[in-house]
Amino acid sequence: MLYDIFIDPFVQMYQMPDFFLQVLWEGFVAGILYALIALGFVLIFKASGVFNFAQGIMVVFAGLTLVGLNENGVPAYLALILTIGVMGVLAYGVERVVMRPLVNQPEIILLMATIGLTYFLVGFGEFVFGGEPKQMITEQLGLPTGSTAFEIGDRGLVILQHIDIAAAVIAVLMVTALAIFFNKTRIGRALRAVADDHQAALSVGISLNQIWAIVWFAAGLVALATGIMWGARSDVSFALEIVAFKALPVLILGGFTSIPGAIVGGLIIGFGEKIGELYWGGLVGGGVESWLAYIIALIFLLFRPQGLFGERIIERI
């Protein structure tokens, strides 16, 4: 038994390096996509200090809107532009109807508001688009398809799906843009001020309503990119909402306020899931990929609850 746990998996990695590299690539892509989902949570948390329970359904809603418009005869790129507009309208509506009346309310009230928003979007999405899974318009958007195989000497092949490469590139570009936005722009500094103290931000002339609308729109754009990439790898359905909650252990690992932490946390979860499932999953009957992320997050909570890049909060009493 000890051999199966501590030795045999590493022997397999050495004997089949092509398969191991394939596993690492799959883990990298999954981790990048988890990180992209987590970015939406980070944006809202940095601006309002609340966990946005609705981010998962926003990913689904954005993807369904894009596909639904195309199915009704709207060309792909026009549908993409209109979907961005829909996410902008959603951001304005959330700020006006949900967030504005709750200024300076306890964080638990804001959390409950995002839960209510989740179920509204679920019902509205099913009413408009139906509950059937839909195929992402990958080729119409110009996203690459197919795959490329790389030889590892005489030890086998590693196959890279072109859509996975595109997903990784787009995720890196979005992370870079958001990091620059938060750290180098006036609006980004205002967002951090709002996150620290709503009342203090208002007292120095920062428009809380404007900031919230901007950050919800940015989270909507992240949700749209995530929906496109996840949908291209499988399909667009309400099951993606469950996948989106893999961002929770990612946030616990990286820190709820850290954009770099979302990336590092996503990669840890992505690599951990794939390696754990394929090399140790058989020892526990499989299904490791569905729960290992939460075990990793639990261990981090025990030893570093603020995450790898999170801010340690010290309160004087």
- Residues 37 and 195: their CA atoms lie apart, in Å, by 20
CB atoms within 10 A of CB 266: 30
Q: At what angle do helices 55-71 and 208-233 cross, to 10 degrees?
A: 60
Tens digit of pLDDT at every position of the chain (317 positions)? 777 887 888 888 888 888 899 999 999 988 988 888 888 888 888 777 778 888 889 999 999 999 999 999 999 999 999 999 999 999 888 888 887 788 777 878 888 998 999 999 999 999 998 888 899 998 899 988 889 888 876 777 888 999 889 888 888 888 788 878 877 888 877 777 776 666 777 777 777 778 878 888 988 999 999 899 888 888 888 888 877 778 889 988 988 878 888 889 999 999 999 999 988 888 887 788 888 999 989 888 888 888 888 666 555 55
Residue 310 domain-assigned?
no
pLDDT of 301 reads 85
pLDDT of 303 reads 86
Best CA proximity match to 64, nearest among 226, 236, 259: 236
Extract the tokens encoding 236: 């667009």
Residue 311 domain-assigned?
no
Angstrom CA distances, 190 to 92, 257, 261, 281, stand at: 18, 15, 21, 46
pLDDT of 62 reads 94
Q: What is the pTM of this model?
A: 0.88
CATH of the domain at 18: 1.10.3470
- Residues 248 and 162: their CA atoms lie apart, in Å, by 28
Residue 256 domain-assigned?
yes
**What domain range includes position 46?**
2-303
Residue 7 domain-assigned?
yes
Residue 316 domain-assigned?
no
Residue 317 domain-assigned?
no
pLDDT of 247 reads 84
Best CA proximity match to 106, nearest among 53, 50, 52: 50
pLDDT of 104 reads 72
Contact 28, 273 (CB under 8 A): no
Domain count, the chain: 1
Best CA proximity match to 224, nearest among 94, 86, 124, 92: 86
